[in-house]
Structure 1
Amino acid sequence: MIIAKFCSDGQYYKTVFGLVQWDYGQTLQVFGLQIPDQTEVHLTEEFGTMSFTVPGNRQEDGSVAVEIPDILLQSGKNVIAYIYVCDDSQGETLRTIFMPVKKRAKPENYSRSELTPMQEILKELRGRADDITLQEDMLQLMSGGQTIGSRIRLPIREREIEMRNTGTEIEWRYTDSNEWCSLIILDDIRGPAGETPEFEIRDGHLYALYQK
């Protein structure tokens, strides 16, 4: 557990130590802040591309606990936490926490996944998934009404995703972002006769339809 204590209202930035590359199951616990229950914490790599938005869970002692995604500790890059609150009209970063990560060699018995949640989705899509269900923050791939693989917990909450078909691949992005990301190459999911599926969204499900 990594502990950050803010001692005054004027202290907006803090550096805390204790993270080590290839560790997992780590939690950041923040003390000394009077913040709403519905607080988000943005965790990102320093000089990297990976970032997550996770909920800050208020504890009985008044602190806020934040689960650090295991994959953030695999690259060895330092981690920055932004404590963020927002409502319908505005958002504000209240505090910033810098967490240096001590580099080390990968342990031989390391057993955690080295794929991001989206990479895990792509891996399962190659198993010919034809449907996706999303309940709260749990995503499950389906094929012929049967589940494929394990459920995936999405780390980013309260951000909508949209998709588009470019003719060669399916791309996705967050609705508050301008950057499109590749989801799956259409050639990878062609039907038995080589047909390209059409995609429809029905009742929150994404369907791949093969026209004969």
Structure 2
Amino acid sequence: MLLIYKLLNFINIKWYRLKAIAWYYFLFKKIGKYCLILKPTLITPESISLGNNVFIGWKARIEGVRKYNLKEFSPRIILNDGVSIQQNIHLTCAELIEIGKNTAIAANVTITDIHHPYDDINIPIEQQDIKTKPVFIGENCKIYNNSVIMQGTFLGRHCTVGANSVVSGKFDDYCVIAGSPAVVLKRYSFEKQAWLKTDPKGNFIEL
């Protein structure tokens, strides 16, 4: 039974990899080699550029928003080489979302560059014009389950985001952040060659 399961899994992966080459190649803005996309719920390939070896898990919603109300947008979603995304990603983009090389995103994560303002209380929120700010996630990051990456977030290289975090703002390289709202908990010290605790702003705490 185990051998049969492994064989079926192998055939399944080969099928989805072939589909990425034969089908998505003509639809995506750009698609690199050895990409694997497993049964997305919603995907707008004309807004998406994939590097090599990108993995997108089951039930992904990766959506470029080209028009909202009467305003038109030119969304760009860039997943660089080696990005891996587990199931149920919810990514919506009207301007720019870029994810750096070899960054891994766990299940049920939300990433958006869109904000729904409530400027006019006489109009329902969903009917008001959206505002956008680009999102950038650096290379070699790890974003754990159920986290939300808000519009305008800049996440440096080699950062870890704890599960269930709500991330907004700018974070330097080599940070461990968590919470709602997320703050810096640790940062790597090249001087001491260790991860050291910090205050919420990322300043090392003297021990």
1 or 2 for the larger relative contact order (CA 8 Å, sep ≥6)? 1
Question: TM-score, with normalisation over the residues of structure 1?
Answer: 0.27
- Considering fraction of residues, name the structure with more helix: 2
- Considering fraction of residues, name the structure with more strand: 1
Instruction: Mark the structure with the bigger radius of gyration.
Output: 1
